[in-house]
């Protein structure tokens, strides 16, 4: 095939609609539109999410004519990462085409018997948090359920994943329809059949979308708080003005997080900003009645920011004070900083040229 023919074939493939990320009901609509039996949807779902095929021709229990009809308008939608870079600590950062003008990153974090994948929900972000590289890229577009699920299925060792966290690029509540659809695919018996307890969704607290997530799923929730003082939080996170943390916490008090479902507060610590014991006391007060645990996160310095990480001793003292006050607090282990894969460092850039690349 010459270059022109290859280009035409690629263009045609891009115009096809991905089946990946579709729910069973959507696949039933596809079957109906193509004149196929209703049970075909269940077969396609199994091929997509259990057998994890990458081509419609691999769906061998569908007739040849049925596969031909499907291929006229649809494709599986699986795409390999553009690149992968490996940290000294075993963390791997993958770069994917978002089809939104800015590539997106997913981070694989192995840890003994756990393997967590941190996935993105948007290309860039609208929230403009002062400490986050993603927000500095601006907003380029929402990922589809297909591009979200593709991150899960297309990383190396995908079959070994034990946990998924929506903590990559973007604000999940700002792309809630696609996030909810992806969660359905991840947890449904016809999909990947994961327990929702293996999934955590992070948010700055965008309402009312957060309430919808809480009502329609049983996934764990992590709220990016970072300061117990509203005026200071607004300087760090402009979203405080639109969705005050006080209102978000009031909402969360109406849900049961005392049993299997977990609520976490993300708290990045900065030297001289929010790292004193007075802040720990204030944080304990605002979290009263929420059943929240606190994840203390070391700040990973980013270019152009005056914020600086506080000392390990400060973090340990802060943690101990919270525990004394009845708030379960832990210090999150920092992973992947050497490859710009740690919390707040994702920017959708291909930096594989100086590290191992995997295709």
Give the CA distances from residue 60 to residues 46, 67, 207, 310, 349, in Å, rounded to whole numbers and listed in that order: 12, 9, 45, 57, 38
Residue 271 contacts by C-beta under 8 Å, 6 or more apart in sequence? 308, 309, 310, 311, 314
**Predicted pLDDT at 173:** 98
Round to whole Å and give the CA distance between 170 and 104: 9
**Predicted pLDDT at 334:** 81
49: its two tokens: 């999410």
Helix/strand/coil for 295: strand
Contact 143, 151 (CB under 8 A): no
Closest to 200 in 3D by CA, of 118, 144, 143? 118
**Predicted pLDDT at 15:** 86
Number of H helices, E strands in the chain: 13, 14
Angle, vertex CA 48, rays to CA 43 and CA 50, nearest 5: 85
DSSP 98: -
* pTM metric for this prediction: 0.91
Rounded to the nearest 10 degrees, the angle between the axes of helix 145-154 and helix 176-187 is: 40
Residue 123 contacts by C-beta under 8 Å, 6 or more apart in sequence? 98, 100, 101, 102, 103, 104, 139, 140, 141, 142, 143, 169, 170, 348
Q: Return the residue matching tokens 């282990």.
A: 333
Strand partners, 110: 115
Helix/strand/coil for 235: helix
Q: Return the residue matching tokens 């327990």.
A: 195
25: its two tokens: 């009901």
| pLDDT averaged per 10 residues in sequence order, the chain, 359 residues | 43 77 98 96 98 97 96 97 93 94 93 94 94 87 97 96 96 98 98 98 97 98 98 97 97 93 97 98 97 94 88 98 98 78 64 39
Round to whole Å and give the CA distance between 7 and 297: 46
15: its two tokens: 């115009």
Catalytic residues: 105, 343
């Amino acid at each position: 095939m010459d270059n022109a023919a290859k280009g035409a074939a690629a263009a045609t493939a891009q115009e096809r609609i991905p089946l990946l990320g579709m729910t069973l009901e959507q696949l039933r609509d596809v079957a109906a539109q193509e004149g196929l039996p209703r049970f075909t949807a269940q077969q396609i779902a199994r091929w997509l999410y259990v057998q994890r095929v990458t081509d419609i021709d691999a769906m061998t229990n569908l007739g040849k004519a049925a596969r031909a009809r499907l291929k006229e308008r649809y494709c599986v939608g699986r795409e390999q990462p553009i690149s992968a870079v490996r940290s000294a600590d075993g963390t791997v950062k993958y770069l994917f085409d978002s089809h939104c003008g800015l590539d997106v990153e997913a981070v694989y974090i192995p840890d003994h018997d756990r393997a967590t994948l941190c996935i993105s929900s948007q290309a860039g972000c609208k929230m403009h948090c002062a400490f986050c590289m993603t927000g500095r890229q601006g907003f380029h577009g929402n990922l589809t359920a297909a591009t979200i699920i593709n991150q899960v299925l297309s990383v190396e060792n995908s079959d070994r994943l034990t946990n998924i966290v929506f903590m990559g690029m973007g604000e999940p509540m700002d792309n809630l329809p696609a996030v909810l659809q992806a969660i359905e695919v991840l947890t449904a018996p016809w999909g990947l059949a994961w327990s929702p307890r293996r999934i955590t969704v992070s948010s700055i607290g965008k309402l009312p979308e957060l309430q919808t997530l809480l009502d329609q799923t049983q996934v764990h929730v992590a709220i990016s708080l970072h300061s117990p003082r509203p005026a200071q939080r607004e300087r760090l996170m402009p979203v405080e003005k639109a969705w005050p943390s006080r209102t978000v916490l009031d909402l969360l008090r109406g849900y049961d997080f005392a049993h299997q479902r977990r609520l976490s507060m993300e708290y990045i610590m900065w030297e001289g900003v929010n790292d004193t014991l007075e802040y720990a006391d204030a944080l304990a007060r605002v979290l009263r009645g929420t059943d929240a645990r606190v994840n203390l996160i070391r700040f990973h310095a980013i270019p152009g920011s005056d914020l600086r990480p506080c000392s390990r001793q400060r973090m340990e003292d802060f943690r101990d004070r919270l525990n004394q006050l009845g708030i379960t607090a832990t210090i999150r282990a920092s992973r992947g900083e050497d490859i710009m894969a740690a919390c707040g460092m994702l920017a959708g850039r291909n930096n594989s040229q100086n590290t191992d690349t995997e295709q």
